[in-house]
Amino acid sequence: MESGSRPLCFVLMPFGTKPDPSGAMIDFDAVYADLIAPAIRDADLEPLRADEEMAGGIIHKAMFERLMLSEYAVADLTTANANVFYELGIRHAARPYTTILLFAEGWRLPFDVSPLRSLPYRLNESGKPANAAVTRPKLTGLLNAARGETTDSPVFTLISDVKPHEVDHSKTDTFRERVHYSQSLKERLAKARRQGVDALTALESELGKIEQQDAGVVIDLFLSYRAVKAWGKMAELYEKMAPPLQRAVMVREQLALALNRAGDAEAAERILRELIAQRGASSETYGILGRVYKDAWERAVKDGDAAMAAGKLRLAIDAYLKGFEADWRDAYPGINAVTLMELRNPPDGRGAQILPVVRYAVERRIASGQADYWDYATLVELALLAKDEKGCRAALGDALANVRETWEAETTARNLRLINEARAARGELAGWMSEVQAELGALGKRASLPV
């Protein structure tokens, strides 16, 4: 059966890599790709999972439609993710049957759902499915059995006089058309992103009213503008978004990043400070705030304002440190903190204490199988800071092999330049340090955008 005509199966689950209560990391993207999605396709259904960006901390109209109108649903209850449980409650209230539950072995289900039939699966030491070939057919079997319309919702099981709401067939067909339209748009966005800002702007003009578009498409366009450094376009698009999407934490963080890059550091700082006041410490929010202060420090240095530069450098180090302390597993704010400590004159002695912790954090992420460009770039900086030429060159090769967007390599080359300039001023610069900086900068500029 062609994918466009298969019944839709919506997947409720966390995204990316998340910790369980013991601190072990679970690769939910691998759970989806290796276990859940293939099992759904084997049942002759079409898997449908919201994008990570689409979640964004909000429940929006498109999400409600997916929960209520998809013919089937699979919910992964591992880690008792609050969004997943909220979505499952909506699903159980809307659909008496065709909802399948699963969870990772070793995870104790909360009391309210523990009596419900759920399929366990095993994880290996990397947090990925350990027995996917065994569990996939079991999940497929449960989905096939669900075609018999056996009631699985506790709402309809325990309250006998509750009647399911019959959804008009035309509404379901319209929903399906919009799903495929959104998927087609995202493919066109990927192509336009490779072509540049003009192609993205042209595609945006075709969308009409942005506030009425699927949130996943809008976020994809938002981040596509980021990929081509169209900071002003990001700010303009934000103003056109629906209010719930504007309030999403990720959207506000990325708006602050764009405003800072566009030269409005004051507005960027205000947004980030408001997020911290409202949501508490976050490695991502503090990481972007650190970048705002870091850019301000560079401007002050360029203007010859030594007092301002010293103050902004202290603020940048403080923001990055708070970000790293908010989540020791996130090496990004940590590497920026130790790098800026090296730039002080004399260098900040705390850098030597923090550096091994940052290295451990990034090494554990690489060992989990989830490494990307930034992880290897972090190892490049750590090795440079430790004056380890062999380790620096080895990490450089891995970083260059994982470049996705030109600005990534350019950002790292910029950090290396700052370290080298500080060391040159102290008479500590070795020739190989400049060579690594130049190689990363030159190759980064020639890196292609993601396909």
Three-class secondary structure assignment of the chain: CCHHHCCEEEEECCCCEEECCCCCEEEHHHHHHHHHHHHHHHCCCEEEECCHHHHCCCCCHHHHHHHHHCCEEEEECHHHCHHHHHHHHHHHHHCCCCEEEEEECCCCCCCCCCCCCEEEECECCCCCECCHHHHHHHHHHHHHHHHHCCCCCHHHHHCCCCCCCCCCHHHHHHHHHHHHHHHHHHHHHHHHHHHCHHHHHHHHHHHCCHHHCCHHHHHHHHHHHHHCCCHHHHHHHHHHCCHHHHCCHHHHHHHHHHHHHCCCHHHHHHHHHHHHHHHCCCHHHHHHHHHHHHHHHHHHHHHCCHHHHHHHHHHHHHHHHHHHHHCCCCHHHHHHHHHHHHHCCCCCCHHHHHHHHHHHHHHHHHHCCCCCHHHHHHHHHHHHHCCCHHHHHHHHHHHHHCCCCHHHHHHHHHHHHHHHHHHHHCCCCCHHHHHHHHHHHHHHHCCCCCC
pLDDT of amino acid 165:
60
| Backbone φ, ψ for residue 262 (5° rounding) | -85, -5
- CB burial readout 291-321, b (16+ within 10 A) else e: bbbbbbbbebbeeeeeeebeebbebbbbbbb
- CA nearest 359: which of 387, 389, 380? 380
User: Domain-by-domain residue ranges, the chain?
Assistant: 3-167, 172-245, 246-445
- CA nearest 218: which of 194, 189, 179, 256? 189
HSE-CB at 86 with a 13 A cutoff on CA atoms is 11
Dist. CA 130–CA 135, nearest whole Å: 9
Dist. CA 441–CA 435, nearest whole Å: 10
- CB burial readout 128-159, b (16+ within 10 A) else e: bbbebeebbeebbebbeebeeeeebbebbeee
Using CB atoms within 10 Å of the CB of residue 90, give its burial: 0 to 12 exposed, 13 to 18 middle, 19+ buried: middle
Contacts of 196 (CB under 8 A, 6+ apart): 228
* Spacing of C-alpha 337 from chain mean position: 22
CB 6 within 8 A of CB 37: no
pLDDT of amino acid 175:
52
pTM: predicted TM-score of the whole model, two decimal places: 0.68
- Digit-by-digit pLDDT tens for the chain (451 residues) are 445 567 889 999 988 888 876 777 889 999 999 999 999 999 999 898 865 434 344 445 667 777 877 889 999 999 888 888 888 998 898 888 899 999 998 877 777 777 788 999 999 988 899 989 999 999 999 999 988 878 888 887 777 666 666 555 444 445 555 556 566 777 888 889 889 999 999 999 988 889 877 777 788 899 899 989 999 999 999 999 988 789 888 899 999 999 999 999 999 999 999 999 998 999 999 999 999 999 999 999 999 999 999 999 999 999 999 999 999 888 999 999 999 999 998 999 999 999 999 999 999 888 877 788 999 999 999 999 999 999 999 999 898 888 877 778 888 888 899 999 999 999 988 889 988 888 877 764 554 433 2
CATH of 246-445 among 1.10.357, 1.10.10, 1.25.40, 2.60.40? 1.25.40
Dist. CA 331–CA 337, nearest whole Å: 10
Using CB atoms within 10 Å of the CB of residue 338, give its burial: 0 to 12 exposed, 13 to 18 middle, 19+ buried: buried
pLDDT of amino acid 219:
83
- CA nearest 143: which of 60, 228, 72? 72
CATH of 3-167 among 3.40.50.450, 3.40.50.920, 3.30.70.890, 3.30.70.860? 3.40.50.450
| Backbone φ, ψ for residue 120 (5° rounding) | -85, 150
